[in-house]
Amino acid sequence: MRCPACQAEHRPGARFCEECGARLDAACPRCGAPVTAGKKFCGECGAALAGQERGGAPAPAAAAERFATPQRYTPAHLAERILKGRAALSGERKQVTVLFADVSGFTSLSERLDPEDVHALINRAFELMLAEIHRYEGTVNQFLGDGLMALFGAPIAHEDHAQRAAHAALAMQRALAAYRAEVAPRGIAFRVRMGLNTGLVVVGAIGDNLRMDYTAVGDTTNTAARMQQLAEPGRIVVADATQRLVAPYFELRALGAVPVKGKSQPVAAWELTGAGPAVSRLAARAAHGLSPFVGRDDALATLERAWTQARAGRGQAAFVVGEAGMGKSRLLLELRERLGDAATWIEGDCISFGRSIPFLPIVAMLKQNFGIEDPDGEPRIIERVRRGLAFLGEDAAQVEPWLRYLMAVDPGHPGVAALDPVERRARIVTAIQRLTAAGSRRRPVVLVVEDAHWIDSASEDFLTSLAESLPGMAVLLIVTYRPLYQQPFGDRTYYWRIALQPVDEEDAVRIVRATLGVADLPRELAVTIAAKAEGNPFFLEEIGRTLVETGAVRAENGRRVLVEAAATIRVPDTVQDVIAARLDRLAEPQKRTVQTAAVIGREFALGLLRRVSDLHDQLERTLAELKGVELIYEKTGFGELEYVFKHALTQDVAYASLLQAERRRLHALIGAAIEDVYAGRLEERAEELVYHFTRGEVWDKVVRYARAAAERAAGLFVDARAIEFSEQALEALRRLPETRETARAGIDIRLGMRPPLWRAGKLEPLFERMKEAEALAARHGETAPLDTIFSFLIQYHWAKGEQERALEYGRRCLEMADAKDDLGLRVTAHFYMCHAYQALGQFAEGLRHAQTVIDLLDGPRATERFGLSGLPYCGACGLAAWNLTELGDPEGALDFIRRGERVADAANHLYSQTVLAVERGHLLTHHGTPAEAIAVLEPAARICREKNFIGWLMRALAPLGRAYAEIGRHDDGIAAAKEAVVLQEGAGAFVNRAGFHLSLAHAYLAAGRLEDAEASARTGLGFAERHGERGWEGWNRYVLGDIAQRRGDRAAAAQYLDEAQEIAEELAMRPLLERCRAALRSLG
């Protein structure tokens, strides 16, 4: 006997073909009756047996290797789904619809046409049939002579498998009719006849080649084969089991009852003649009511007490913490219903990928407040903001530009975009707080931020600031989050903390009873459910719905009753199991919609979902069905209809159920849809687009939007996010071919990382990025970036304590600046060369370079930054003051500080103001006025900590520690000085490390801890000697001399003091010189 797939001869008794692997069944593929090897037709039903020679030519279907195994003809997307779910399907009873199709007329053609022509004709017919079967997600398990058998409902599950099979049959009929017309001029005639039946099969193993073993339950396949035999050529006949399922949607003509082998009674047969009018597949479902609000009375009462205080003008903050599904949102819903119109309720939700989107929930709250809709263009947004602020009167002008900037529209004032990012962010926060306060005077306000465990740092900073300023406002701030969130809000007398605990067994029973509609729940079942759900209201609701949907309870006489013993009811072990099992039971369009929506996010707009869904007119009906089963709900508000997953875990499970390839496809589609829907306002969607295009692996788009997101984050001074997005852009570039264009982008991205990386104290990553930029520039002949790269290398080598190399790059930059007459490069070179000379102790030379910067920029250009974090003019004034302090001119130093402060204050430049405050504090500490120094340095250090100015934080803490210790606050002083040392070590910097250890030595010395002081000073001396920092070397030797003198070791003291005096004379360090001379005189 030959193989029915490839016609190869096989040995007697073989179960599988040794050439192509096809299964060799000695049974009729239609009716299942045993057949004799070598026979051409079934002795029971008369069906042609595959693979037999007819008229001297091989059977056309068998000759095509293309159809040897399902793996070769099943589309990749279906193959992936089959393989993904095959383990779960094995041994499972599945309701399916079986379709048999036979193309009549090809056998006779083999007698007059060349076999190759016959093969080509039938192969084309099979391709057409396969295309339609696969379109409706049926699968073809095998080919049978001139026909095939297809299954709908397994291995890919579909609730509407019968309808799909009917649609596929009609589509095959149409496709083959067109093909028949195409070949008719060649004298070729053929027709297809099909039969369908619906019934149970037990799914067996599914091999890697996608071939599925199955066993019919009863006469499922036998009846389908009989229907195909009944069909006249060109017709489709269905059995009554299929007819009952498809009747509302298709046109059918009764054929009467026909005998079927194995059945004692005839089976009614129907001819399928066409599709009927569109009819809704499901009747409208009655909406499920909410389960009882139980176990949360105390929490609600606490919120009501907080509201009473807030309504009276004594602002309050409530923090609600609980595991996922514990009822945080439900609690707020109850409160909102209780308050009614007594409060203005504004809420914003954080999202799982929103940590990198600055002010995400705050922007959402502002949009809600102003009635701004996502499709709104810039003019409408501006108009709504202006109208919403009208009640502020003249004060609106102080608020409007900052809110408009935050919402990514023209702020209406040129100074807003040009302002330093730190100051701009501060102004934005102030504007929102001012609006909140003013609004609360008109009507009490409830501000809600949900899921703060996903909050972005900018929003977190704002909420922290708002919480501090609540007293005096009629505002109740409510923040919900999960237990792992490390909330930064601290403790205040007007704070309320509410921890939601699992509900007790009694309340759990009430929830399940309400969900089931069962008045008397057996104790055994109640205990089982409570134990599985662990008192989580969401778990309880979902388990109850699972019991209903699996038939463990059913409706009788208008109420639901249990129909199974409690011991036989399987409750899923985890909520993941509950959700996954529930999703698997959804109709195919519903499940696909849930999965697609899950890729969009926890919240999804109808318009965006419509762009990526293939359901078209069915989409809204499908969403209504999903609302009916309470997987999603509509989000109330303005504008376009939006939906929200009822629980975040539902989204997580639905997303995880998708194959990676399908996730990639959907993310790419969603990204493209966002570009289309929000074409005029992509800047504010940049972070969202990065999320989707990264997961969709659309790398050129990732580069584009990650760069935009990085710039936006840097503009709001969220440096960590700016760095993160820049790295994402670089990673995306690595996945693209390197061209001159991508190289230029790679250079620009790396150069743009300089300010945030520097401010964050990440020296080595910054150095790596600059060297990469330099290498890219060299490879592609780009010379422009060298200016920025070389100026950075001055800064880098200065920080690493390599001052000669820093000066070498400085001189190269000056040469380049002179050649191009580039003021910016000239300013930057002098600025950092001043740093290097100061570190070397060459204070006069450092002063000269600082003065050069000041002279170059004095006047209108004093407020230009030239790409630096601070204003170079102000920085140079601080450097000049430092150098003059070491040279012994405190009045001159103070004059430079004042000059810099005037410019920084006029420009409202917080960074430069902070730098000058630190320099002033250093001067005051140096000249023995620690109390005055503390008054300046404490607020400066606080700002540095808040704004993540790591470099200046350490420079503030070092003198602050010394000042604390010198007024008797020894522990505070030592702690501050130690932190400065630790921060600098963490940054990988070596410059001035000798000075940080010197400050720690001073703190120890003031506390009388001579051994610790000596150890610190010796460490500082070692750093100074290794890095050529002669000024710090002199000061550390002086301190070691002081320590020796206190111990009574006059010889050691004299030696250290002589060495320090020598350095002071060499460097013209008058303050050090005077102290050395005084100490030596005291030695006698």
Structure confidence by residue, pLDDT tens digits, 749-782: 998 888 888 777 787 888 899 889 988 988 888 8
Q: What is the mean pLDDT of residues 909-921?
A: 95
Alpha carbons within 13 angstroms on the beta-carbon side of residue 184 total 8
Q: What is the mean pLDDT of residues 840-846?
A: 96
Residue 1004 pLDDT greater than 70, yes or no = yes
CATH T-level fold of 668-776: 1.25.40
Give the pLDDT of residue 701. Answer: 95
Which range has highest mean pLDDT (115-124, 163-172, 406-415, 499-508)? Answer: 163-172
Contacts made by residues 1072-1079, CB under 8 angstroms, sequence distance 24+: 1072/886, 1072/1034, 1072/1035, 1072/1038, 1074/888, 1075/1038, 1076/1038, 1076/1041, 1079/1038, 1079/1041, 1079/1042, 1079/1045, 1079/1053
Give the pLDDT of residue 86. Answer: 45
**CATH superfamily of this structure's domain 930-1083:** Tetratricopeptide repeat domain (1.25.40.10)
Q: What is the mean pLDDT of residues 1018-1041?
A: 96
> Which residue carries 């993941």 as its tokens?
576
Average model confidence (pLDDT) across the chain: 83
Q: What is the mean pLDDT of residues 350-369?
A: 82
Residue 607 pLDDT greater than 70, yes or no = yes
Give the pLDDT of residue 79. Answer: 59
Give the pLDDT of residue 845. Answer: 97
Q: What is the mean pLDDT of residues 289-307?
A: 87
Q: Is 385 exposed, middle or buried (0-12, 13-18, 19+ CB in 10 A)?
A: buried
Q: Which of 725, 729, 704 is nearest to 713 (CA)?
A: 725
On whether the CB atoms of residues 211 and 23 are closer than 8 A, the answer is yes
Give the pLDDT of residue 581. Answer: 55
Residue 571 — pLDDT band, cuts 50, 70, 90?
very low
Give the pLDDT of residue 191. Answer: 86
Give 299-499's CATH code, choosing from 3.40.1440.10, 3.40.50.300, 3.40.30.10, 3.30.70.360.
3.40.50.300
On whether the CB atoms of residues 22 and 69 are closer than 8 A, the answer is yes
Q: How far apart are the C-alpha atoms of 650 and 794, rounded to whole Å?
A: 53
Residue 236 or residue 426, greater confidence = 236
Give the pLDDT of residue 1038. Answer: 97
> Which residue carries 């501060």 as its tokens?
426
Give the pLDDT of residue 817. Answer: 93
User: Which two three-digit tokens encode residue 792?
Assistant: 């950075």
Give the helix/strand (H/E) hosting 692: helix 686-695
Residue 344 — pLDDT band, cuts 50, 70, 90?
very high
On whether the CB atoms of residues 87 and 30 are closer than 8 A, the answer is no
Give the pLDDT of residue 513. Answer: 76
Q: Which of 819, 763, 818 is nearest to 795 (CA)?
A: 763
Q: Which range among 87-96, 133-142, 364-373 shows the weakest confidence by mean pLDDT? A: 87-96
Q: What is the mean pLDDT of residues 58-87?
A: 52
Residue 108 pLDDT greater than 80, yes or no = no
Residue 272 — pLDDT band, cuts 50, 70, 90?
very high
**CATH superfamily of this structure's domain 61-275:** Nucleotide cyclase, GGDEF domain (3.30.70.1230)
Q: What is the mean pLDDT of residues 329-342?
A: 91
Q: What is the mean pLDDT of residues 907-912?
A: 93
Q: How far apart are the C-alpha atoms of 738 and 467, rounded to whole Å?
A: 49
Residue 567 pLDDT greater than 60, yes or no = no
Alpha carbons within 13 angstroms on the beta-carbon side of residue 351 total 23
Residue 280 pLDDT greater than 50, yes or no = no
Q: What is the mean pLDDT of residues 198-221?
A: 60
User: Which two three-digit tokens encode residue 345?
Assistant: 């309720």
Give the pLDDT of residue 92. Answer: 45
Residue 690 — pLDDT band, cuts 50, 70, 90?
very high
Q: What is the mean pLDDT of residues 232-255?
A: 89
Strand partners, 239: 269
The percentage of the chain sitting over the pLDDT mark of 90, rounded to a whole number, equals 47
Residue 916 or residue 72, greater confidence = 916
On whether the CB atoms of residues 382 and 401 are closer than 8 A, the answer is no
Give the pLDDT of residue 62. Answer: 41
DSSP for 161-175 reads: HHHHHHHHHHHHHHH
Give the pLDDT of residue 194. Answer: 95
- Contacts of 649 by beta carbon, 8 Å cutoff, 6+ apart: 324, 325, 538, 575, 576, 579
CATH T-level fold of 588-658: Arc Repressor Mutant, subunit A (1.10.10)
The percentage of the chain sitting over the pLDDT mark of 70, rounded to a whole number, equals 81
Give the helix/strand (H/E) hosting 1054: helix 1050-1067
Residue 17 pLDDT greater than 50, yes or no = no
Q: How far apart are the C-alpha atoms of 184 and 2, rounded to whole Å?
A: 32
On whether the CB atoms of residues 548 and 291 are closer than 8 A, the answer is no
Q: How far apart are the C-alpha atoms of 713 and 720, rounded to whole Å?
A: 8
- Helix H segments across 454-603? 457-468, 505-516, 523-533, 537-549, 575-584, 588-600
